[in-house]
Every structure is written in C-alpha cells, then in structure tokens.
Chain A
C-alpha cells in the first residue's frame, strides 16, 4: 500500500449528526467506506490531493444477512472472493468492486466495515498491508465504540435536560396562575396550599370576587401531567373566569345566572371542542355570600369537599360530569347554610390517592374522620399535611400535586362564653380612653386583678400581652380617638384566666403583618415595627378574636392548671 489517507474530519463524522458512521479511505480504485450494519452509506466528497472516483459504496447490510454473522465472528482481513455465502450484501459488495473487508468488531459486536477495492497499482495487497489494516481495525473498533457511547450519553443528557426544561415551564405556568393573594373577607378565613409533585400535575384553585360582595371559589384538577396539563389548566382557568364574570356582568349579578351550575355548564361547552383527546378536568365551583353564610355549589366530577361542623363532617355533594368530556351536560346546583365555626376543606386527588409503603391509599374515610376530629381552617391544612407525612413515611416520592384549600366561618363563641369551659367569675371590668400610653394603666389593673391566680412567673408575660393587645385596640380599632374607650374584662374559671379587650373597629380588619423577621428588618426589607401580635402570641396559651358590626374583641387565655404553683 503506497499511501493511506484518512479524512481529517474523521472524528467529527463520528460525533456528527446522530448517526455513527465510519469512513476510512485508502488510496483505492473505489472509495473505501465502512458501512454500519443496517445503514446506508451516503456519498461524500473525496479528499485532496489526488482526486478519487466519486462512486461510493451504497450497501444495505441488514442485521439478518449471513454476512453480518460471519464478519462478527471473523476478526481480521476478509478476502471477499474466497467467501461462499448466500448473501445479498456480499453480492452487492462484489458488484461494487470491493476486494478486502476488515470488519470492525468490538466485544463481539459488528460496528462497521472497512472496505477496500483493488490497489491503484494493480498489485495484490501485501502481508504488510494486511497487517497494517488489521492493526488499524483493532484500534478503530474500540475507538468507535467509545465514540458511540459518548454520543449516546450526550443524547440522554439532552433528553433529560429537555424534560427538566419542560418541568420548569409547567411549574412556571402553574405558579403564575395560582392566586398570589387570598381574599380577605370580614368574618371568614381562607387558606390554601399547593404542593407540586416532581412531574407537576394540573391542579389549580382560584377566587372570583363579585361586585355584590359574593365570592366564587374554584378548585380543579386536569388529568395528565407536565406541560400539556399546565396548558389545559391555564385555559380552563381563563374560561371559568371569563364565563363567571361574563355572566355576572351581563346579568348585573342577579342570583339566577351566576349560579355555579350554569357557570360549569357554559365552561364545559366552551372547553369541549378544544381539549386534547383523553384529557378532562374535574372542578368544584362554590359561590359564597359572606353576609348570610349561604354557599351554592356545583361539581364537575371533583373529589367531594368536607364541611367540618363541630365534631362531625358533612359532604358537599352535587352531580355533574368532569369538564371536557361531553358538551351539553347539566350540573346540579346545591346549597348549604354555613354556621359560625364551620370549616370547609377542598382538596385534590393527590391527597386521597397518596400511597404508603404498603401500597395502601390515604383514602376518603381517613380524611373525613380527620376533618371531623381536628380544628378547621388554616390549622387543618397544616395538620392534614402532617398526617399525610405520617401516613406516607419520610421517603415518599409525591405522586401527584397536592392542593388544599379551606374556607372557615368565624365562630361567635369566646372561650369564656362557652358553658362547657366551667364557672367563670368576674375579676375586673373597666374601660379606658384610647390615647397612647394608656395601655400601661390597663396592664397594671389587669395584673392586679389576676395577681392571686396567675403565678408570678407568668405575670410579666401577661403584662406584655395585655399592653400590646390594648395598644392594637386603641390604635387600629379606635384610631387613637380618646372619646372611644377600650373595654376590658378579666374573668377566671378554675382552669382558665381570660382577658377580653374590646374596641369599636368591628368592621375594620386588623392589619395582618408578616411574621417579623429580624434579618429582614435589619436589612431594611421589612419595617422595624410589627412586633405586637408576635409578642402576644408568644405569651398567651390561646387567642380568640370575635367581631360583629361594631365591636372587635380579642380574648387572651392562660391555662391555670398547667402552671407551676408559686
């Protein structure tokens, strides 16, 4: 062999466009092209300096051709004319003038062929040539294999990155569209929690504020996961908003047409034509009149919310198909009167369908019993999540999004007004004008009244809590107007000490400051103020708030039986 010339872009070709191909040129009559089993070599321009014929091998080598098995088991140079095999590929190679084939085999796997036609000099290949070709093949095959593995890994990494990117988009869509703020309604408390699974499902919740004061509450879940679910969730949310607000505007918010059944019916008709096949949405729509406590609702196949009433639970059942399955479906509308102290838990199937290590489901019975026996509102969300963690164990990989939302009507019972908390005796009752500094007088009089029953170890805590609650009442409730007094009542039962502090800011909600964070305050990211409520909560055993049209009462409770005797 006079010269050998390997194309300079050899490695680029291997790493090239996703398909591994080896092209090795020797100075032969026809270009020597290594063909990958099952693939077809495409023509490539011949390298300088000496032009080679541009006729390149175009050989189909299917995996079941006997030649493949032969080459795989036959290391070293193969002279084609000595082969006697019934092989279409062999006939084709002969036809194209190939004389020598050096199979590129790595660990028994045929990676490609190095094909040579006659030498330009018309002499036979020498044993040196064959030795060189053998050497070349033994070094090339593992190199190709390594290149293939690298390439494969690159593709896998790219696929993984695409998936991650998709998850990021889905999560972004979801988080952008979930409400950034919860509605504030006098006498009601709303709390919500959304915890995405790794693959991000299509859970959503939403609030629609009507101009007549009514509030729409929506919770829904799109089948499927990832970007498709997030997109359907986004369009469903927009459709529901559009339908609900359209109807409200068109009908001047008269009760008959904002009704939740018609909202779902109209939304379903709009969603049906556009939704991708095999996808649908479960959705619960409730409409609250905060003034009366009347809740109207309709359900498009969503998990039935529970109402906690005392130590029992009720279900908000209403018939209706999931959205996006069939147009023209009716949705039953139901109604419930929510009593003071009632609390509703809305949730998604990610909660009830969570599995423990024994493959048991969290399930509806466990949830409904839990709701009945635990405090409602935001505390319920927190404790349900704790219960879920106990159920699933610490190594749980969350299977689906978990969404929880509570709607709670404030109770109208202060602890010291509830008969079951024992016989109460009045220790002090007085009022003081709302003027800065007067909290000290209140603090002193309450401390005097409680002196014989509260241990000295907690007296300073009582003083701070009473002073801070009085300052809030004077400032936020009575606007520091000296003509409006703050009323104070101190009562004790055998087990409890209760202090009521009442102002006349009934309809004005107390600003709910973010939890004070000293680091943020020192960095100027949060006001240096805002410690009052924080200190009160630190120093009492319970705090209750009751409001009516005119009054706002804070009740501070200390448990006497837990305290050390002094």
Chain B
C-alpha cells in the first residue's frame, strides 16, 4: 500500500499538484489539503499530475469528482497529466474527461492553462 503524497508547485498561470502513491479512500485528507493549498492563490487552472500514481479505485474517483465539483464552483479549470492509458479509459467511461482535459505532459498542459 502506498499512501498518497500530494505536493503543490506554483507555476505562472497554474498550480500543479504532484500526486504520488495510490488514490483511494485513505488519500482523502492529503488530496483535499493539497487542493486547498493550490486553490488559495486563486489560479485560473489547477493541474493534477498523476505521473507517479499506480492505482486509483472507485473511492479515488469519488475524491476526484469532489475536487471537480469544488473547482467548478469557484470557476477554476482542472487539468490532468500523467494518466496511464487504463486510467485515461476510466476517465473517458466515467465522463470525467468531459470536464477535465487530459494532456500527455506537463508542458503542453501549462501551455494551455491561463
């Protein structure tokens, strides 16, 4: 079991949350805290970097839905990068990808933020 670590980096037009470990029910507090830190500066976009995430389960999906609901309320765009092809498939079938754009790498995501 790899407990989720979530760290925030501020970029010129966006805040980046680097995620490492598993996104499941146990990751809720780490994810919520990182999101609150990232949102504090009121960036127009927040990029979720899943590059070092190996496992997302249905409870993890629920956490991402909650972040997305918060982001929509405050008018912040959520972007993603680093998803494996399996999780891209999950983001597609759950329709999460309709609301958070999936980028192949951080550079292209940041180029489209702002």
Instruction: State the A residues within 8 Å of B (CB).
Output: 436-437, 439-440, 460-461, 464, 467-468, 471, 516, 518, 521-524, 527-532, 534-535, 538
Contact = CB atoms under 8 A, between A and B. Distances in A.
Given A437-B26, A518-B65, A529 B58 contact: yes
Nearest to B68: A522
B86 A528 contact: no
Contact of A529 (B26, B59, B85, B99): B59
Contact of A535 (B22, B66, B85, B90): B90
A532 B1 contact: no
B96 interface: yes
Q: Is the interface of B mostly helix, strand, loop or mixed?
A: helix
Given A436-B25, A524-B69, A460 B86 contact: yes
A532 to B, nearest CB: 4
Contacts of B90: 464, 535
B62 A518 contact: no
B13 interface: no
A471 B61 CA distance: 14
Most buried by A among B65, B84, B95: B65
B69 A531 contact: no
B11 interface: no
Given A528-B62, A529-B62, A531-B61, A521 B69 contact: yes
B57 A467 contact: yes
B57 A471 contact: yes
Interface string B1-12: 100000000000
Sort A-B residue pairs by CB-CB distance and give the 9 closest, nearest first: A460-B86, A531-B58, A528-B65, A532-B58, A529-B62, A528-B62, A518-B95, A531-B61, A437-B1
A528 B1 contact: no
A343 B59 CA distance: 36
Contacts of B59: 471, 529
Contacts of B68: 522
A519 to B, nearest CB: 8
Contacts of B22: 440
18 contacts: A436-B25, A437-B26, A439-B57, A440-B1, A460-B85, A467-B57, A468-B58, A471-B58, A518-B65, A518-B94, A518-B96, A522-B65, A524-B69, A528-B63, A529-B62, A530-B58, A531-B58, A535-B61
A499 B86 CA distance: 20
Contacts of A535: 58, 61, 90, 93
Given A460-B86, A521-B69, A524-B69, A531 B94 contact: yes
A436 B26 contact: yes
Given A468-B57, A522-B65, 9 more contacts: A467-B55, A471-B58, A518-B94, A518-B96, A518-B98, A518-B99, A530-B62, A535-B58, A538-B93
B13 to A, nearest CB: 24
Nearest to A459: B86
Contacts of A439: 57
Contact of B69 (A436, A522, A534): A522
Interface residues of B, number: 27
Interface string B53-79: 001011101110110110010000000
A479 to B, nearest CB: 16
B10 to A, nearest CB: 26
Contacts of B55: 440, 467
B106 interface: no
A408 B61 CA distance: 34
Nearest to A529: B62
A527 to B, nearest CB: 8
A205 B16 CA distance: 56
Contacts of B63: 528
B19 to A, nearest CB: 17
Contacts of A436: 24-26
A464 B62 contact: no
Contact of A528 (B24, B69, B72): B69
Nearest to A535: B58
A316 to B, nearest CB: 41
A358 B49 CA distance: 62
A531 B94 CA distance: 8
Contacts of B99: 518, 522
A522 B25 CA distance: 19
Contacts of A523: 69
A34 B55 CA distance: 91
B57 A522 contact: no
Nearest to A517: B95
Nearest to A531: B58
